[in-house]
């Protein structure tokens, strides 16, 4: 019974951390929001739990194969989000954040809770803070004026 409760708590943690990452994307109106990120983290966590605990003692099973399957699956979803429109690439950050979110889910699945929490905070800060800097590219007296070669 404790094992089922422990798995349930892992899945809930994955939903919460994935949702936190997705909040920033959803606030910007991006195609993948908090539900998508929560589902990616949840699925990655469950697949990882299954590979480590469910298939572990079976012959010819490999947690590495499941991990690579997760990465390929998320890559497929990410590829669908990337669009080339009017000489610009759109959706690349969303796709990269989905990949990072799947890694958070995998970390939860193997029991690396602090790593997953710290990584979630870092992803959220990266998305939020760098976006603030990028939006100021065209304004004077910002970080970007230091790198401007004009």
pLDDT tens-digit profile, the chain (150 residues): 668 899 999 999 999 999 999 998 888 888 788 998 999 999 999 989 888 877 656 656 677 778 888 888 888 888 887 887 777 777 888 889 999 999 999 999 999 999 999 999 999 999 888 777 766 555 555 554 555 555
Would you give the DSSP letter of residue 114?
H
Please give the helix or strand (H or E) that residue 39 lies within, else none. Answer: helix 34-49
For residue 115, the enclosing domain spans 2-147
- Structural domain tally of the chain? 1
Please tell me the predicted confidence (pLDDT) of residue 94.
Answer: 86
The tokens for 84 are 């080339």
Beta bridge partners of 88: 85
């Amino acid at each position: 019974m404790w094992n089922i409760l422990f798995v349930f708590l892992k899945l809930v943690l994955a939903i919460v951390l994935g949702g936190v990452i997705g909040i920033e994307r959803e606030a910007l109106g991006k195609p993948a929001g908090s539900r998508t990120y929560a589902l990616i983290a949840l699925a990655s966590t469950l697949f990882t739990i299954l590979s480590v605990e469910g298939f572990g003692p079976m012959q010819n099973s490999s947690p590495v194969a499941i991990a690579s399957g997760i990465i390929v699956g998320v890559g497929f979803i990410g590829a669908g989000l990337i669009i080339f429109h009017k000489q610009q690439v759109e959706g690349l950050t969303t796709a990269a954040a989905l990949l990072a979110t799947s890694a958070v889910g995998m970390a939860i699945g193997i029991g690396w809770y602090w790593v997953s929490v710290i990584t979630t905070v870092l992803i959220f800060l990266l998305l939020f803070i760098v976006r603030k800097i990028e939006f100021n590219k065209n304004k004077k007296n910002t970080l970007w004026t230091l790198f401007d070669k004009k």
